[in-house]
């Protein structure tokens, strides 16, 4: 404990984390427990931070189920009997203590982890390398807590693949137009002078949802999956929507199945279909002719792997997004999320219940510690 005394007085003696040692496909919540432990610290290098908020992402749940291809190493570092990992991959933290010679961070900074698998469902965390943290000062809690996955995914999808022309009639087409990522895509694209054709499922209040996407988020045009799949629409109506000299070089797919074929058909020759999700559970389905005669390329995007290979792209994306949010150019995802508040002094059982409830509830769930 000698070393520990060098930390500020606001660093508690014990941390509390939501951990797991095994997996369950049937009930992901069953593998979770709350664990208290005295963290191992290295005062020369450790950044200590308290957790402000973390989302419960589908990938976090898939990790608990044991079906996600990226996973944290389970260790005995937390003093558990069996090797364990802290759940969660995303979250925003407030710096409580920095190593003596650390210049890039200071106490009070808000940070998010650069890499996945750091474990975020915890009241405090220790980060052993300040360069594995990205500063997000100036954002609201919900934005900061979710910018590292949804925000970065949207930003990289828009900016990392197409060399957009300035002043051209450039479009991107995307399905799942109401999803969190799609809404950020829409806004990021608009800022870059790229128009969006957003496809959403048919629904009774289609006009109202479309109007919100267009007015609040800046979608250029919202169409339904029926229209997306309608060849007459594609031939006769779509050109009037796109206008003269339109270029459609990028399609973003997070649905699969017929929806993926239909957005791919709207692309010009030699264009790119980027898949980053598969909500319909149907495979990406591409008419052979699109590949052979229209030169279509189909690829995937996974923010975890992208960051592992090119971490600077994520840093750049976060920095760009922070500036856009601070400048009021992007809308906070707060309205799109369900907030689960936790008192840091809540019992272990209460903390666990909040998280289990979040896992089992629909919508984008964010857990916020009320420090």
Q: Which residues bind its own copies (CB under 8 A)?
A: 69, 256, 261, 275-278, 283-302, 305
Q: Is 274 in contact with 301 (CB distance < 8 Å)?
A: yes
CA dihedral 128, 131, 132, 138 (to 10 degrees): 120
Residue closer to its own copies, measured from CB, 24 or 280: 280
Cβ neighbours of 312 (radius 10 Å): 9
Structure tokens at 171: 């479009």
Residue closer to its own copies, measured from CB, 232 or 292: 292
Q: Is 129 in contact with 49 (CB distance < 8 Å)?
A: no
Residue closer to its own copies, measured from CB, 4 or 302: 302
Minimum distance from residue 293 beta carbon to its own copies (Å): 4
Minimum distance from residue 17 beta carbon to its own copies (Å): 27
68 is catalytic: yes
Structure tokens at 182: 């799609």
Minimum distance from residue 304 beta carbon to its own copies (Å): 9
Minimum distance from residue 282 beta carbon to its own copies (Å): 8
Residue closer to its own copies, measured from CB, 125 or 201: 201
Residue linked to tokens 């660093």: 11
d(CA 198, CA 194): 12
Minimum distance from residue 369 beta carbon to its own copies (Å): 31
Residue closer to its own copies, measured from CB, 275 or 337: 275
CA dihedral 179, 181, 182, 188 (to 10 degrees): 150
Spot the catalytic one: 13, 20, 68, 161. Answer: 68
Structure tokens at 209: 């949802």
Taken in order 321, 173, 153, 27, the sign of the CA dihedral is positive
Q: Which residues contact 249 (CB under 8 A, 6 or more apart)?
A: 162, 170, 172, 267, 268, 271, 272
Catalytically active residues are 68
């Amino acid at each position: 404990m000698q070393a520990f005394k060098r930390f500020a007085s606001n660093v508690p003696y014990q941390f509390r984390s939501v951990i797991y040692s095994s997996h369950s496909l049937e009930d992901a919540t069953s593998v979770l427990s709350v664990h208290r432990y005295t963290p191992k610290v290295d005062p020369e290098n450790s950044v200590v931070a308290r957790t402000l908020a973390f989302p419960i992402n589908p990938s976090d749940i898939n990790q608990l189920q044991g079906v996600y291809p990226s996973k944290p190493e389970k260790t005995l570092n937390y003093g558990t009997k069996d090797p364990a990992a802290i759940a969660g991959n995303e979250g925003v933290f407030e710096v409580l203590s920095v190593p003596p010679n650390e210049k890039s961070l200071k106490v009070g900074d808000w940070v998010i982890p650069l890499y996945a698998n750091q474990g975020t469902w915890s009241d405090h965390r220790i980060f052993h390398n300040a360069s594995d943290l990205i500063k997000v000062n100036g954002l609201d809690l919900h934005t900061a807590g979710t910018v590292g996955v949804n925000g970065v995914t949207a930003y990289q999808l828009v900016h990392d693949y197409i060399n957009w022309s300035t002043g051209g009639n450039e479009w991107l087409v995307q399905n799942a137009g109401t999803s969190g990522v799609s809404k950020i895509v829409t806004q990021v694209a608009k800022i870059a002078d790229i128009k969006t054709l957003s496809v959403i499922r048919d629904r009774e209040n289609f006009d109202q949802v479309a109007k919100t996407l267009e007015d609040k988020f800046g979608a250029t045009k919202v169409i339904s999956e029926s229209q997306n799949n309608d060849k007459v629409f594609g031939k006769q109506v779509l050109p009037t929507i796109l206008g003269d000299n339109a270029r459609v070089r990028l399609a973003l797919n997070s649905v699969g199945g017929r929806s993926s074929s239909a957005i791919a058909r709207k692309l010009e020759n030699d264009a790119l279909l980027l898949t980053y999700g598969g909500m319909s559970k149907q495979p990406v389905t591409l008419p052979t002719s699109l590949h052979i005669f229209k030169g279509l390329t189909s690829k995937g995007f996974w923010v975890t792997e992208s960051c592992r290979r090119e971490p600077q792209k994520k840093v750049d994306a976060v920095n760009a997004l922070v500036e856009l949010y601070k400048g009021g150019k992007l809308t906070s995802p707060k309205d799109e999320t369900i907030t689960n508040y936790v008192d840091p002094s809540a019992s272990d059982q209460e903390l666990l219940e909040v998280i289990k409830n979040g896992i089992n509830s629909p919508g984008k769930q964010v857990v916020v510690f009320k420090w």
